[in-house]
Amino acid sequence: MRKIPYISIFILLISSSLAFGQETDRLRMTEDQAKTILAKTLSDSTLHNVIGKKRIIKEEEKAVQFAEMVLFNFYDKEKIQTQQPYDIFEIDGYWIISGTLPKKMRGGTFMIIIDSRNYQVIKLTHGR
């Protein structure tokens, strides 16, 4: 008789995990479908694509946020933050952002160039 509660609990756990693991009211993409779409997109540049037509990064603060996200993955966060204030320019659809140093300090700063139409990092460097 003691086996019945364990079986009931097991069935309850399985059914609840299935219910929480699936959303039946949504159409979902499969990984195979995603792989097919990616392969087609990478091989055929004529397919419909909104990216590249208009600027996505319009505001200076968004450009800086994205630049810092990239920079903090490559360089020490504190090192980059000590290079504030940044020099920031938008020229011909590209954000050019570089760090600054106090006048008497020796060393280099970062520079990142970002395409405002698609968040592509065109250049990332750090001087010595």
0.75 surpassed by pTM = no
Locate 62 and state its tokens. 């968004």
Give the model confidence (pLDDT) of 60-104 as tens digits: 999 999 999 999 999 999 999 999 999 999 999 999 999 999 888
Rounded Cα gap, residues 64 and 109, in angstroms: 15
At 37, the pLDDT band (50, 70, 90 cuts) reads confident
Nearest to 68 by CA among 121, 9, 13, 5: 121
- DSSP SS3 for 64: helix
**pLDDT value at residue 17:** 47
Kindly tell me if the per-residue pLDDT of 6 is higher than 60.
Answer: no
Predicted pLDDT at 32: 94
Break the chain into its structural domains and give their ranges.
60-126
